[in-house]
Amino acid sequence: DTGVSQDPRHKITKRGQNVTFRCDPISEHNRLYWYRQTLGQGPEFLTYFQNEAQLEKSRLLSDRFSAERPKGSFSTLEIQRTEQGDSAMYLCASSLEQTPGEKLFFGSGTQLSVL
């Protein structure tokens, strides 16, 4: 069990540039989540996949955000035309349980800074 890994750990970009983050979940986990966390706040839900299907997407997510999980394994989160307000920690989590007490396993996150 290697845990959830996210790449890169840190990303600094200029406003207007596109960025892409990758998440590798725990291998047998079929559910994958993206959350965003800004300083002093709890995480905010962005989107969720079951296998390769994107089943839920937050209304917070503008059209500049897109997420994929093409083969039901790793996932990518792309932000187009980044804005300073996109600066945050982007957290990925995965799970296997299909119970109400579903336990999420989180990665260490990708810290995005938009200058």
Which residues sit at the interface with other proteins, rule CB under 8 A? 31, 33, 35, 40-45, 48, 55-56, 58, 89, 91, 93, 100-109, 111
Closer to other proteins by CB, 73 or 111: give it: 111
Closer to other proteins by CB, 42 or 70: give it: 42
Closer to other proteins by CB, 86 or 109: give it: 109
Tokens coding 101 = 């007490």
Residues 6+ apart with CB under 8 A from 90: 6, 21, 34, 35, 36, 37, 46, 77, 109, 110, 111, 112
Closest approach, Cβ 43 to other proteins, in A, equals 5
Tokens coding 100 = 């109400």
Respond yes or no on whether the N-terminal peptide bond of residue 8 is cis (omega within 30° of 0).
yes
Closest approach, Cβ 6 to other proteins, in A, equals 10
Closest approach, Cβ 13 to other proteins, in A, equals 19
Closer to other proteins by CB, 44 or 68: give it: 44
Q: Are 68 and 51 in contact (CB under 8 A)?
A: no
Q: Is 1 helix (H, G, I), strand (E, B) or coil?
A: coil
Closest approach, Cβ 81 to other proteins, in A, equals 26
